[in-house]
Structure 1
Amino acid sequence: MLSERLIFPLTPVPVFPPLRERAAWRAMSEIPRNRRFLGNRILPLAQNALTAPIPELPASLFMEFVRIGDRKHYEKPYFQRRQMLEALVLAEGYEYRGRFIDRIIDYLWAIMGEYTWSLPAHVNSGGDPLPELPFEMVDLFCAETGMLLAQTLNFMESELRDVSLNLVSGIRRNLQKRIIEPCEREPFPFWWGHGFNNWSPWCASNVLGVALTVLSGQPERQEKMVRSLAAIIDRYLDLYPADGGCDEGPSYWGVSPASMLIFLEELYNASGGKISIYDEPLVRHMGEFFADCYLDGGCFTPFSDAAVRFDPPVPLCRRYGERTGSEKLKNFTLRMLAGLNGEPYQPYTGYTSTSSLFRMPAFLFWLPAEEVPAPPAADSVSYYPVVQQLFVHAGKLAFAAKGGHNAENHNHNDLGQFMFFHSGEPMIVDLGRCEYTRHTFSERRYENWVLNALGHNPPLFDGVGQHDGKEHRAADVRFSQEGNRVQLEMELAGAFPAELELVSVRRSIRLDIGSGEIQVEDRWESRQPHTVQWNLYTPAKVAVRPGETEFRNGSAVMRLTLSGTPVSVAAAVPENPDPELTHSWGAPPCRVRLTAEAGCSGAVTMRFTFPASRN
């Protein structure tokens, strides 16, 4: 797709204006939103960086991942270094008085002196806590570090040259050795070249930024690198779900299709607009999926390892909408921008915030100068048949559900999962991501109950839930909509281990988008008797009463009534909650457990209504 549209030679034109182009920077700084951001957020960070010590990265912290499985102790100062360099460059661009240049050089010097730009969690250590690297492992953040340094050159190479020609040549040598040369090896040495998931566009977009910067004087070498990276994006698109759905979840969308957008913009810019695949329907659908994933109250659908709350890549969504002609994305961007109350996303509040010196400038230079009123969110029903995900926005209700299979990217064992908000409040939730450790992406992944079936609301049989693996999938998935009635149903028996001898486990989800009522019916049949349990998770206050269970969260009031096979109800906060749950929901959500006594067959209908507020 993309490789067929490449045109050479490319022109080495920076995506954003260099610091010396003062007219462009003054015009950008006159936008009230940008002036508040730079003056209130970036300048204080940069001023603190002038005197605060550069965070240290000793070998003892690097070794902790192999020794005890801890990632954060090394990663926190690692990312702080990059965040501070980005803030210093932007602050210098805003003021252009030279007072930050020496500290920028200090940070460049420190980063160039690191043993590796890769994270310990991404390096194949072979059990040695300080692995020997025959060449740099270009992982996500090695590539992003390369982009950060390349963008620093694009923004202020002339200012750095005025201080030291050797510094600039040293940056270029580091980028050649750590990024370009490893990616020129044949066969291509990194697994992200296969196009499987977010790693492919995330790494490729950053490596492309380096190649366009440091290989501008070597057109044949640059062309070979660009063709290699474009082939990776083509493989990524070939493997991407044909309906545009992102099975990694919306927060990973921000580094998957959104990173592809960066890649495409780099080529679009370097070719004077001649290289483009924005007319491809798949590319547009990939973008609009992100808008459909938005729930309410600043929260997104946290299926897979997605976060429920994160800083949406507003400028990338805006540019995506402009290039593809998607009014849905452009209007979504305006609503997100309005929700920030005139302020951009909080920079560097999470220690893993991306710091490539691209997304922050995009916020400053790509968004509309005028504060345009956001149109109200329209009621919508969006179903993605390949990834089998449903999103409904109707009045005060925001609902999501999924089928799929249990070998998805960042998989959870969650086929049939549903969640919803009402009146802007989370009522029944998907827990979202867990805290990442060395076990998260290992054979011990599903020991974490947040990731296995216990952390989701499809049924368990004698405490046994769905199993991981692509063969464990939803079958006979049917979506329908007739007027105000929306239905999603699926057969789930194949998602469970064979030894349970399940003949059928059928989940039917029905929504009345006029009244807001939700019904979830589970019917099961087995060759042996089982006690059946369901686990509903909620941040709401729960009161279990005879005949109904009441949920209260802010202004939202909901009642759950049950019919069919007799069921008992109990509510309690789980023991040993994952630390990430507090970050996601403010406190570990309550688990409402439904239990049906042993039998070979049965049916339970959960009916959720909202008596205190009409939809």
Structure 2
Amino acid sequence: MYSKRLLLTTSSLLLLLSVVASAQNEPITPATKLPDHPRILLLKGEENAIKKTLAADKTWKNVHQAMLGECDRLLSAAPVERIQIGRRLLDKSREALRRVFLLAYAWRMTQQKQYLQRAETELLAVSAFSDWNPSHFLDVAEMTMAVAIGYDWLHNDLSPASRSAIKAAILKKGIEPSLDPKFNSWLKATHNWNQVCNAGMTYGALAIYEDQPELARTIINRAIDSIELPMEDYAPDGAYPEGYSYWGYGTSFNVMFISALEKAFGSDFGLSLKPGFLRTAAYMTNMTGPSGNSFNYSDAGTGGGLQPAMFWFANKLNDPSVLWVERGRLLSAGGGTYDKDRLLPAIMLWSNGIRVTDIPEPKSRIWVGDGKSPVALMRTSWSDPSAIFVGLKAGSPSVNHAHMDVGSFVMEADGVRWAMDFGMQDYNSLESKGVKLWGKEQDSQRWQVYRYNNFVHNTLTVNNELQKVDGNARIARSANNPQFMSATTDLSELYKGLLNKASRGIAIVNQNHVVVRDEIETPAKEATVRWTLLTSANVTITGKNRAELTKNGRKLVLQVEEPAAVTLKTWSTDPPHEYDAANPGTTLVGFEVTVPANTNTPLTVLLLPEKAAGQTSPGVQPLAQWPK
């Protein structure tokens, strides 16, 4: 036993020395000053600024009270247990982070000892785990962040024995595994794993800095260097490659990381100025429709949620309008709806005294962003709950967490999401049944999962084949014309070998209806093209080229303008495999058309809300003539 432990310690030391030796131009040096505890996110005495915010704004007070109420419920809850689900301990790490962050916040704001004692109980419980599951390092990262916040914020009030046990867990179960190449491939990742893991390790390093200064500096400097990799993916415009839900994960932890650096060292070492990073706030603002639901392409969940990190962005940009969606969520629900958000206390740290009711609506009604997953997001109003909203996605199925949804769109009007996206399926529900979910080859099993391929997205399917994984599409042009707000994309690479050319344009016309126009060019053989729209509305076919969608007492007409000889139909969304999730209450509606060889064919579809009843578009122009 002793010799094994000595070997592990020696190996860790060699790894550490290797990291130290390779470091160059380190931002954090032995001369760098660091505040005393508490030093992570909220320094001693900064509670007073939050208290002033609470006194001046009823909405913030409601959020604060909701957090305290949740802490009161936690007082009688059993501590988190080490119960692994499949390959993940992640739900336990996340719950520990939620509990510790809330309880530590409650202690610092109220000085009521029951919160201190309950947080200490939680910290000691997770510190006693055998490990934090380094084989799935997100689990370690979030647990380390949880324990680091608790250790730092409660440091001066914990017993010496508790401090010793918690500090040892941060070092042995958090930081040291990150030095092992078996567990730290995320250092080279360009996606959310890098952001989350570097944030977690940095929090651990900040918490025990005075006890392990050389190691802590190594970890923090490593993180500052490594996290630039995923931050490059925000360029040029801020469109986050992995979509809404993973923005809420990767970007939020990236902000937690930068905010901790700023508080501890007075600098973010230039990270927030990386191209596109600050612009991502506008992306996130525009990703939510009037219904409150997000554009949930790729591995995203349905619905939407409060994003505390947006308040950090608003402060950086000096632009409170990016908080318009957060304003709506806070005013409609207070904080009680969001007390399951493990980062919720951070919203109070970043609120910066802004009155929620003073947040103005954004000026522009269209946002277009290039990048690995380009998007165009359009609406007729920010304040009208009945406004039309359209989101169009380009990009590639090869992007991390992407689906075969290139060219897909969502559409809302009259408070109803008429054109929808299923989003992700729970990973463990697939992995536990042996599905090889993470392959990205053309013949990967990932693309057999019903929700992940193009057959069930609001895009085109050609000859009943999958989109090409290595295909890519950009937003070709866009126009912010109130009478013809539009965006177009060239989908040709997604159908290579099946079509010579495929282009899609979507426009909000006269602020009262939507046009979807596709232009297809076939090669020297015919092609069968299927056009589909996924909806949770009731669908009634009322004519060969016309269908009525009804939901929540509202109606939308889907009308095919061209080609003339089409017959609308519906398809069931019952999944083909036993591992697929069920999709109750949903329908695919659309049409199939066989396009002769060497032919150019337009497909023009109108989506007509009730206010546009009887609307026709006799002059929908070719995409080349759409405005720029």
Q: Aligning the two structures, in what range does the TM-score lie when normalised by the shorter sequence?
A: 0.7 to 0.9
Q: Does 1:472 pair with 2:471?
A: yes
Within a 5 Å distance, the mapping from 1:368-407 to structure 2 comes to: 368=353, 370-386=355-371, 387-395=373-381, 396-407=387-398
Which residue of 1 is the match for residue 311 of structure 2? 318
Q: Does 1:150 pair with 2:143?
A: no
**Structure 1 position 303, deviation (Å):** 1.5
| SS at structure 2 position matched to 1:612 | helix
- Quick one: structure 1 residues 398 and 534, their matched pair in 2 at CA, closer, same or farther if it must change by over 3 Å? same
Which residue of 2 is the match for residue 125 of structure 1? none
- Quick one: structure 1 residues 608 and 485, their matched pair in 2 at CA, closer, same or farther if it must change by over 3 Å? same
Which residue of 2 is the match for residue 453 of structure 1? 454
> Is the 8 Å Cα contact of residues 488 and 509 (structure 1) preserved in structure 2?
yes
**Structure 1 position 24, deviation (Å):** 6.2
Which residue of 2 is the match for residue 301 of structure 1? 295
**Structure 1 position 48, deviation (Å):** 4.0
CA distance in 2, matches of 1:406, 1:458: 13
CA distance in 1, matches of 2:268, 2:490: 47
Identity level (%) = 17
Which residue of 1 is the match for residue 349 of structure 2? 365
CA distance in 2, matches of 1:329, 1:389: 18
**Structure 1 position 529, deviation (Å):** 3.0
> Is the 8 Å Cα contact of residues 574 and 590 (structure 1) preserved in structure 2?
yes
Q: Relative to structure 2, which stretch is displaced further, 510-519 or 381-390?
A: 510-519
CA distance in 2, matches of 1:598, 1:519: 18
> Is the 8 Å Cα contact of residues 511 and 519 (structure 1) preserved in structure 2?
no
| SS at structure 1 position matched to 2:276 | helix
CA distance in 1, matches of 2:356, 2:71: 27
Q: Does 1:590 pair with 2:574?
A: no
**Structure 1 position 381, deviation (Å):** 1.7
> Is the 8 Å Cα contact of residues 250 and 293 (structure 1) preserved in structure 2?
yes
Structure 1 residues 160-203: Cα deviation after superposition (integer angstroms, max 9, x where no partner): 12xxx122111111111122223345x69512211411111121
Within a 5 Å distance, the mapping from 1:70-469 to structure 2 comes to: 79-93=94-108, 95-118=110-133, 136-137=134-135, 139-161=137-159, 165-185=160-180, 189-273=183-267, 275-279=269-273, 281-314=275-308, 316-340=309-333, 342-343=334-335, 345-348=337-340, 355=342, 359-367=343-351, 368=353, 370-386=355-371, 387-395=373-381, 396-437=387-428, 438=431, 439=435, 440-442=437-439, 443-468=444-469
| SS at structure 1 position matched to 2:524 | strand
Which residue of 2 is the match for residue 127 of structure 1? none
CA distance in 1, matches of 2:315, 2:354: 15
Letter of the structure 2 residue corresponding to residue 560 of structure 1: L
> Is the 8 Å Cα contact of residues 40 and 149 (structure 2) preserved in structure 1?
no
**Structure 1 position 208, deviation (Å):** 1.1
- Quick one: structure 1 residues 388 and 104, their matched pair in 2 at CA, closer, same or farther if it must change by over 3 Å? closer
| SS at structure 2 position matched to 1:256 | helix
**Structure 1 position 156, deviation (Å):** 1.1
- Quick one: structure 1 residues 320 and 21, their matched pair in 2 at CA, closer, same or farther if it must change by over 3 Å? closer
| SS at structure 1 position matched to 2:357 | coil
Structure 1's unaligned 5+ residue stretches are 119-135
CA distance in 2, matches of 1:306, 1:549: 29
CA distance in 2, matches of 1:219, 1:607: 64
CA distance in 1, matches of 2:350, 2:492: 49
Which residue of 1 is the match for residue 8 of structure 2? none
**Structure 1 position 94, deviation (Å):** 5.0
Which residue of 2 is the match for residue 9 of structure 1? 32
| SS at structure 2 position matched to 1:270 | helix
| SS at structure 1 position matched to 2:451 | coil
Structure 1 residues 498-525: Cα deviation after superposition (integer angstroms, max 9, x where no partner): 3xx4323332333325343323234241
Structure 1 residues 236-286: Cα deviation after superposition (integer angstroms, max 9, x where no partner): 233443222111002211222332222111111112357454455522212
- Quick one: structure 1 residues 189 and 477, their matched pair in 2 at CA, closer, same or farther if it must change by over 3 Å? same
Structure 1 residues 69-89: Cα deviation after superposition (integer angstroms, max 9, x where no partner): xx6xx6655644554444443
| SS at structure 2 position matched to 1:264 | helix
Within a 5 Å distance, the mapping from 1:436-585 to structure 2 comes to: 436-437=427-428, 438=431, 439=435, 440-442=437-439, 443-468=444-469, 471-474=470-473, 477-480=476-479, 484-496=483-495, 498=497, 501-546=498-543, 547-554=545-552, 556-565=554-563, 566-571=565-570, 573-576=572-575
**Structure 1 position 497, deviation (Å):** 6.0
Structure 1 residues 82-123: Cα deviation after superposition (integer angstroms, max 9, x where no partner): 5444444344445533234444333223212223313xxxxx
TM score, norm. by length of structure 1: 0.82
TM score, norm. by length of structure 2: 0.80
